[in-house]
Every structure is written in structure tokens, then in C-alpha cells.
Amino acid sequence: MKVIVTGAAGFIGFHLCKQLIANNCTVLGFDNINDYYDTNLKYGRLNELGINKRQANSEQIEKSTSYSNFEFVKLDLEDADGVNTLFNDFKPDYVVNLAAQAGVRYSIENPRAYVNSNITGFFNVLEACKNNPPKHLVYASSSSIYGDTKQVPFKTEAKNDAPVSLYAATKKSNELMAHVYSHLHQIPTTGLRFFTVYGPWGRPDMAYFKFSDLIVNGKAIQVYNNGELERDFTYIDDIIEGISNVTFANVNKRTDLFKVYNIGNNKPIKLLKFIETLESELGITAIKEFVPHQAGDVHITWADVKDLIRDFNYKPSTQLNKGIQQFVNWYRIFYNL
């Protein structure tokens, strides 16, 4: 099976490529390796996939030195001609679009980046799929689309037209755009609404990663909304299993070419509890600075995963302490602590 993975140098994309390679898929990954966060982490992920820094910065398709079934090319989703040419040449059976400008708070500071990457970029992927129809297009949506609702748990069928950040609005737009292409061009599409993904090789802009950096350096962590936030933390391995189950499902059995699913642990955890778990695994007590609620943040995320269970007999199940332990183990090794 031939699979294109966009955002292959990203947190989720990297882990997905690893699994697809291990399952003998022929994988073509691409990423623009932007500097939204430390690019050394992105190069490190690619190095694990057998792509060195020189290869990662090449605009030609480069073969992995470690895996015969993996190739990578540096490419921006906004490059419509480049994306279309790549699809024309590779002819993927499956496409998993994980490339996006991430981050809720950053969308307040730099909104144009989200329109360029998440709207224009996703449009280019849809057009490439229209010209080279895959068996299935799977793409990253987000729990953020539910807004700051108090109707929990979040159900896929619930009304979600009141986002509170531009990031969330672009993800909702992706779902609407995918629906149009499924309807007009008979492309099977599935959006996956991820809930606060964490784990080894994670993103440094995420709270658990930033907290770890500050805690080990003896600096204060900012605890938003006085610690009253709750998140449905979902371990990376659970996310990858969910993506794999959905991607390779027999879409011919579906009554609707367009689908969305939540992928979350189905168990929200208070921010203070999360911090306590991180402190325990690091063996260091954090210096806490309690600050007010931040614009764009929601008070709670909580995934209803009944659709995932019904259609795939699957739900995320990794316990927080186990997941944080795996992250801390990786963190210590990567940063030589």
C-alpha cells in the first residue's frame, strides 16, 4: 500500500510513519520543517526515520538510509503545483494529512499562518486528491472545534459552530471543505478530532513539554485558570492506532463518504492532577504561578468515543501515569539529563 503522510516531521506524523514503515507500507512523507518550534526536534524525528539533515532540506525526494520503504521531500502545503506533482508521480492509495499550523494561542499572534497552512494548504491536498483519487483521505481535525461548550462529553454529532480561536475555526473549515469534496468528487474522507496528544517526541509548545523544561530548570510554571482547566489527555500510541484503524478500514461499507471521529481518552483530567503526575515522574516539585484564564482556551475537553468503539471496536486506553512515564524517559535521554 502506498501512503502519503503530510507533516511527516511533526509529532504525530513521525510516529505514524514509523508504524506504516513497520507494517511494510510504501511511505512518502513531506513537511516544510518550519520554525514554529525548535527544528532540531524535527530533524531528530526524521533522523530516526533514516533521513539526515541534508536530505531533510533537499527539495528532491530522498530515500531513507534505514528503511527501503520510506522517502521524504521538503515541501510546503501552500505550493499547489508541488503538491499536485507529488501526487501525480506517487499515485497514493491512501493520504493522511497531518500538516498544519498548530497551536491555539499562537493563532492569536499570527493568524495569517493558519489561513495559509490550514486553509490554503488543505485545499491543495483536496485538489491533488481530486486529480489522483486515493482510496481514503484521512486528515487531522481537533477537539478545539467544539468551542467552550459545557455540554460534555463532546459528541461528534453535537453542534460545533462557535469556535473560540482561529485555529479551531480553520479545523472546522477543513471538515466543511472535506465534506464538499466527498460530495462532489466521491472521495472518501475522514476527519479525526484529536484530544490533547502527548508522549515521546512531542511538541515543545504543548503544556506538558513546556512544564518539563521549566521544572527541570527550576523556573516557575504558569498554571492557567488557577488550575481549573480539564483536558482529555491522549497518549500518542493510542492516536496512532486510531489513525491506522480508520485509514485502512473498508470505506466501501460506509453509507456516507464523509465521516468524523473523536480520538480521546474519554477521561478528562484536571490540570493540577496532570502537573502532580509530571512532578512525580520527574522527581521535582514545580514552582507554580497561578494565572487567569487565557483568551482562546476552553475550560474542558472530553471525548465521546462511542462511534470509534462501534465502528472499530477500539478506544484509547493508556493511563496518564504510564504515558507521562514514557514521555519523561524519552525527555531525559533526548536532553541528556
For residues 288 and 211, is the Cβ–Cβ distance under 8 A? no
Q: How far apart are CA 65 and CA 81, in angstroms?
A: 28
| Sheet of 70-74, strands arranged across | 62-63, 70-74, 26-31, 2-6, 94-97, 136-142, 189-194, 258-263
Q: How far apart are CA 128 and CA 4, in angstroms?
A: 12
Sequential DSSP letters for 259-294 = EEEEES-S--EEHHHHHHHHHHHHT-PPEEEEEPPP
Crossing angle, helix 320-334 and helix 207-216, to 10 degrees? 60
For residues 46 and 56, is the Cβ–Cβ distance under 8 A? yes
Assess whether 208 carries a catalytic annotation.
Answer: no
Q: Within 10 A of 36 (CB to CB), how many other CB atoms are there? A: 18
Catalytic residue among 114, 167, 208, 235: 167
Active centre residues (catalytic): 167
